Amino acid sequence: MIKVVVLDLDGVYFLNSHENFKKNLGKQFSLTEKQIVAVYFKSQKMQEYKKGKTTGDQFWSWAIKEWGINATKDEILEILASSYEINPEAQNLIKKLNAHGIKLALCSNNFPERIKAVDEKLDFLKNFDIQVFSYEEGATKPSREIFNTLIKKSQVAPSEIVYFDDSAEAISTAKQLGINAFLYTSFDEMVTQINRLINK
């Protein structure tokens, strides 16, 4: 029996957040998508930031210098938060799962300033009973450590957890630990899989 459903934030719970941020930041500071991706999405510094190995001040000071822009950390975080919008379908799904007595979890590669800024804007964390963040664990998906923490915090057997992600590597690790893990392809397909498991 399924007792916990784990939702990915970007692309599932939030709509087009990455694309919106690239567009909004690029427009504000005349940056190309390539420049934004190199620093914000692909850099080793960002990986360290998500693992809690560097501070927000350190990362954003470096990023602002790399981009060559006249900006503050707070200005960028405001643009970031304004780029997020909750997927209404995901919100409806959460209500239905709660009605079935199923807990909601998130397992996210993230950094604290983003979570704080977006939660202040959208008040979304209250919807998740279980929260696992890479910056608190010092490890990012697809590492086993972060999934072991997810299992521990869920307080159920791995076979009672269903998890969706768009990363094949993350899915592979979760499956090795006994979690019902599925590659996310579409929202409708995810709902179909959840319903099938709930009604087993």
72-115 pLDDT tens trace: 999 999 999 999 999 999 999 999 999 999 999 999 999 999 99
> Which CATH fold would you assign to the domain 17-82?
DNA polymerase; domain 1 (1.10.150)
Q: By the 8 A CB rule, do 7 and 105 touch?
A: yes
The per-residue pLDDT for 85 is 96
The residue extents of the domains of the chain are: 4-15+85-198, 17-82
pLDDT at 182: 95
If pLDDT is split at 50, 70 and 90, which confidence band does 118 have?
very high
Distances (CA, A) of 94 to 41, 71, 131: 28, 37, 15
Amino acid (one-letter) located at 14: F
CA-CA-CA-CA torsion for 162, 183, 149, 130, nearest 10 degrees?
A: -50
Predicted local distance difference test score (pLDDT) of residue 199: 80
Q: pLDDT tens, 35-74?
A: 999 999 999 999 999 999 999 999 999 999 999 999 999 9
pLDDT range class, residue 11, cuts 50, 70, 90: confident
Measured CA to CA, the distance from residue 1 to residue 161 in angstroms comes to 9
What tokens does 30 get?
């005349």
Q: How far apart are CA 119 and CA 177, in angstroms?
A: 30
Largest CA distance in the chain: 56
Contact 66, 163 (CB under 8 A): no
- Band (141; pLDDT cuts 50, 70, 90): very high
Question: In sequence order, what E strands does the chain have?
Answer: 4-7, 103-108, 130-133, 161-165, 180-183
**Residue 200 — pLDDT band, cuts 50, 70, 90?**
low
What is the Cα–Cα distance from 38 to 41, expressed in whole angstroms? 6
Rounded to whole angstroms, the Cα distance separating 95 from 79 reads: 29
Q: Give this prediction's pTM.
A: 0.93
Q: What contacts 2, CB < 8 A, 6 or more positions away?
A: 102, 160, 161, 162, 180, 194, 197, 198, 200
Record: fold of 4-15+85-198 = Rossmann fold (3.40.50)
